[in-house]
Structure 1
Amino acid sequence: MADYSKPGNQAESPSHTVEVTATNGDSHGAATDEAVSQGLHQLEARKVHWYSYLTTPDFWIVLLIGQVLALCITATNTFSSLLVNYGTSVPAFQTLFNYILLALIYLTYTLYKYGFKKFGKILLYDGWRYFIFSFLDVEGNYFTVLAYRDTNILSAQLINFWAIVVVVIASFILLRVRYKIFQILGILICCGGMGILLASDHIQGSNGGQGQNMLRGDLFALLGATLYGLTNTFEEWFVSKRPMYEVLAFVGLFGMCINGVQAAIFDRQSFRDATWNGDVIGYIVGYTLALTLFYSIVPFLLRIASAAFFNISLLTGNFWGTIIGIHVFGYAIHFLYPIAFVLIILGLMVYFLAGSMLGESKKPWLGDNQEAGVAGFGTAKLKALNEVRKQGLAPENAV
């Protein structure tokens, strides 16, 4: 990605004002780096216990955000199920409006912040990266929705575990993330909780019945989970280096184009065969709003925590889906569900045991002093700057 944050590039940097990485001359950049280095050292030098991070506001914020995202995903799955019940299955078309809404909100704001010249420069140098990222995201959505058409819910949920494996492997290889023993243990505990949820579904016979083509559906789910895992890893890299509104602007722009072409090619027959009435339109609107909210919140979690934590947080979605299912589809809750939910939350807490006060906000690919990162909400760079500011130690010209 082109570096718009080098010292002396204040006039060219598109990331000043709200989320600042630009500097105003070498002395300005050096002062900022020194302030960040000092703040990071102070935060990491604090005496911590194995449970220290769990007592910080950051942990409870990231835990809450994870559950909000799980509820958003549950909402999109619920609306998708209601659409299928009406005989309306247009996977590309129903997601298109999400990308349109993202473009309307974030592309408009980005153009307002940058102007067309700066935006065009980013598009020229980094557009291909954003295009690949958007393509993976669009196809992940598409194949996951297709999977639920052909296979049952139980099989699709089991295969979605693969997304966690993909994130861990991709983060280890591409982002140089090194997982601690408690992080691995936390992931395993969460997976155990999800296993209990799936077992209770099987006991109750509420795993969605048989699809039209189980093998094809399972392969679609596997492909969708792989694409999701890669997308989450790449998005964590993007939002740690660039303003979040910029990332979402390009996701909306390219996603709208890619998804639009795909819908025009693959959803024409399904569109003609679908049922269209007021309820169906309402479900698509609900799906779009829930998904757009999901996309808007994800970058915050990826900055404060990580793509791995994000994916294991979504495992609680099955529990929230059952709660909604009780009221919408008439499901009966099994006694194992509360146990599984508590187990998953426990796994999320174990994930952060014996960590630093920065949690996972300090990213290894941004440098020791996070010099390659943006000083935006949730980042270790901003936390370090705020730490020295509280003590009155930050130089006047520090960002």
Structure 2
Amino acid sequence: MTDQVPSGKPGDEIEITTAVSNDAGRTSINRDHGTASSPASSDDDDAAADNEAVSQALHALEGRKVRWYSYLKTRDFWFVLIVGQVLALAITATNTFSSLLVAHDTSIPAFQTFFNYVLLTLFYFTYTLYQYGFRKMGGILLRDGWKYFILSFLDVQGNYFTVLAYNYTNILSAQLINFWAIVIVVVVSFLLLRVRYKVFQIIGILICVGGTGVLLASDHIRGTNGGPGVDLLKGDLFALLGATIYGLTNTFEEWFVSKRPAYEVLGFLGFFGIFINGVQAAIFDRHSLETGNFTGPVIGYIVGYTLALTLFYSIVPFILRIASAAFFNISLLTGNFWGTIIGVRVFGYTVHFLYPIAFVLIIIGQLTYFLAGSMLGDSKKPWLGDAQEGGIAGFGTAKLKAINAARRGDIVAEDENQPATQQV
């Protein structure tokens, strides 16, 4: 899917501009082709009118009289709830394949993620190059390359240290410490991105964490998720470092995908990830690669891990747009439940009666998270401005919702009945 950002800049293939009709007293959003020859002053006026119209539509959506449960009845809410479970299943699949690799005496925490970055590059970097051309891609590399490098570096390290932690500490300790990622997301979003959490959102997060605590307590009681480790302190420190980096990565990626096309973000994430992860694997996994026994099952597990992880990465940007990094992380808390279900089939686990209770608690926490929100949920990002002028009009964004809401409300020109063009 391709689309263009509504803007007042010359050279856009399709530009969505706005104008206020003096005789009708209403806002209209129209398409304007061939803006490359427009004067700069006209572009500035169009951009200002565009921002004003989007701002009015956003305020209308936020100010709409709704009941406390209204957002829970929207398609956006059910999308983020269901997709959150898909992501939890995907990450559970990667953990399962990692466990199977360890069971086959194959420990390659850096190398096993390398092919994920290769696929991201093949799919998204290639597509971005096709969309932009070499000249524009070069400009992005010069202007924003360092930002994408930092995002990729953080992502690679988060993956590496989290996987590495399981080699030293027990699973119970590692999973408890992974909650720290939620704390990092909330604190960084509050301090740097000016996100202000409502009481119900905090309560929802606490309920989810409590539900996962029930899961872990059940495992500890049954003795299936704890036990000694090779070096508990070392493993716990690795898990803490990995969770911290994950929190920073999720917040940074939410900031990025709200401002740039998802395929561009994923493309550069994969592109730089190949080099960063490749160097790391060559340094730390060299001995394992030289002595490893790469049988058919082992190769199959690596392929399964890669496909599940690439699917996970491909979906994440959209839940970060429609919801937030905080909701994304609490959605992953259900992964422990799905992991047990898979464990029953693959590893012969038995389900404790507390598991369904814990799962219901986590879902209730996710429902509670959105109780006090507006009809925009978390899609309106405070760092993008009142009219979201600093962001992209892509799938899941508040900006696109405002434009489409204006069209559905019949406040557009009579000949403009198509949905707004969006950029993925």
Aligned CA-pair RMSD: 2.1
Q: Residue 110 of structure 1: which of 115, 128, 150 is its match? A: 128
So what's the TM-score if we normalise by structure 1? 0.94
Number of equivalenced pairs? 392
Query: What is the letter of the counterpart of residue 233 of structure 1?
Result: T
Deviations 1:25-83 (A, max 9, x none): 23432342233122212211210111111111111000011000000000000000000
Report the counterpart of residue 9 of structure 1 in structure 2: 9
For the pair 1:44 / 2:62, whether they are aligned, the reply is: yes
For the pair 1:165 / 2:165, whether they are aligned, the reply is: no
Distance 1:10 1:215 in 2: 57
Contact 2:195 2:382 in 1 (8 A): yes
Contact 1:239 1:247 in 2 (8 A): yes
Report the counterpart of residue 217 of structure 1 in structure 2: 235
Distance 1:274 1:139 in 2: 23
Gaps of 5+ in 1: none
Distance 1:145 1:7 in 2: 43
Distance 2:403 2:293 in 1: 55
Query: What is the letter of the counterpart of residue 88 of structure 1?
Result: T
Contact 2:89 2:338 in 1 (8 A): yes
Distance 1:117 1:108 in 2: 14
Distance 1:23 1:378 in 2: 27
Distance 2:313 2:34 in 1: 29
Structure 1 residues 310 and 47: CA distance shift in structure 2, 3 A:
same
Q: CA deviation at 1:182?
A: 0.3
Contact 1:147 1:221 in 2 (8 A): yes
Q: Residue 181 of structure 1: which of 195, 199, 217 is its match? A: 199
Distance 1:75 1:209 in 2: 23
Highest RCO, 1 vs 2 (Cα 8 Å, sep ≥ 6)? 1
Query: What is the letter of the counterpart of residue 10 of structure 2?
Result: Q
Structure 1 residues 141 and 307: CA distance shift in structure 2, 3 A:
same
Report the counterpart of residue 22 of structure 2 in structure 1: none
Deviations 1:89-126 (A, max 9, x none): 00110000000000000001000100010011001000
Give SS of 1:210's match: coil
Query: What is the letter of the counterpart of residue 210 of structure 2?
Result: G
Query: What is the letter of the counterpart of residue 392 of structure 1?
Result: D
For the pair 1:365 / 2:383, whether they are aligned, the reply is: yes
Q: Residue 29 of structure 1: which of 38, 47, 59 is its match? A: 47
Distance 1:318 1:7 in 2: 43
Distance 2:306 2:328 in 1: 21
So what's the TM-score if we normalise by structure 2? 0.89
Query: What is the letter of the counterpart of residue 162 of structure 1?
Result: W
Contact 1:8 1:23 in 2 (8 A): no
Structure 1 residues 16 and 112: CA distance shift in structure 2, 3 A:
farther
Deviations 1:119-141 (A, max 9, x none): 11001000001101110000000
Contact 1:9 1:23 in 2 (8 A): no
Distance 1:67 1:16 in 2: 36
Report the counterpart of residue 112 of structure 2 in structure 1: 94
Report the counterpart of residue 213 of structure 2 in structure 1: 195
Distance 2:169 2:396 in 1: 39
Distance 1:184 1:352 in 2: 10
Structure 1 residues 263 and 27: CA distance shift in structure 2, 3 A:
same
Distance 1:352 1:261 in 2: 42
Greater CA radius of gyration, 1 or 2?
2
Q: Residue 268 of structure 2: which of 226, 244, 250 is its match? A: 250
Give SS of 1:195's match: helix
Distance 2:193 2:322 in 1: 16
Structure 1 residues 200 and 16: CA distance shift in structure 2, 3 A:
farther
Contact 1:385 1:394 in 2 (8 A): no
Q: Residue 334 of structure 2: which of 316, 327, 334 is its match? A: 316
Report the counterpart of residue 337 of structure 1 in structure 2: 355
Distance 1:282 1:324 in 2: 17
Distance 1:89 1:23 in 2: 56
For the pair 1:152 / 2:170, whether they are aligned, the reply is: yes
Distance 2:412 2:381 in 1: 22
Query: What is the letter of the counterpart of residue 240 of structure 2?
Result: L
Give SS of 2:388's match: coil
Contact 1:190 1:345 in 2 (8 A): yes
Q: Residue 146 of structure 2: which of 102, 110, 128 is its match? A: 128
Contact 1:186 1:350 in 2 (8 A): yes
For the pair 1:269 / 2:300, whether they are aligned, the reply is: no
Distance 2:352 2:291 in 1: 37
Deviations 1:228-259 (A, max 9, x none): 00000000000000000000001000011100
Give SS of 1:203's match: helix
